[in-house]
Amino acid sequence: MNLSHIPLRLVTGAFILNSGLAKRNLDKESAAGLQAMGSRVIPQISALEPERFGKLLSYAETALGLSLLLPFVPSRLAGAGLAAFSGSLFTMYLKTPGFTLEDGIRPSPQGTGFAKDIWMLGIAVALILDPKRKTMKRT
């Protein structure tokens, strides 16, 4: 892991891990609300029971958070997982009625809380695109 990746992975990993752990015991209504929002991006998740969806979401967020925090997970791999997650969140933001202004991009007051998650997509791209360090050959 590059030294410059540590703050990116630490802050983002802790944030996502905390979110995943907080969802461990979602009630049926909360899980159903998250499921309805998520089904705008992945319609197939609407076929799951809300409680099962809540558990799977908790497991996925916990695993992603840990992958970002564990130094032996390659940054590009952790970044790819973060890109999928944050890309889904951003797509959900764009597809949720009332979250954007008329232009379809800028957030409405209701959408600001979701639009801010774009920072995770930027971090994901940085982790994926950062060049690998080259090792020096001994002569």
Full 3-state SS string of the chain: CCCCHHHHHHHHHHHHHHHHHHCCCCCHHHHHHHHHHHCCCCHHHHHCCHHHHHHHHHHHHHHHHHHHHCCCCCHHHHHHHHHHHHHHHHHHHHHCCCCECCCCCCECCCCHHHHCCHHHHHHHHHHHHCCCCCCCCCC
User: What's the mean pLDDT in 106-114?
Assistant: 90
Q: Which pLDDT value is given to residue 28?
A: 93
Q: Is residue 137 over pLDDT 60? A: no
Q: Is residue 132 over pLDDT 80? A: no
Residue range 52-70, pLDDT digits in tens: 999 999 999 999 999 999 9
Q: Which pLDDT value is given to residue 82?
A: 96
Q: Which pLDDT value is given to residue 59?
A: 97
pTM of the predicted model as reported, rounded to 2 decimal places:
0.85
Q: Which pLDDT value is given to residue 138?
A: 57
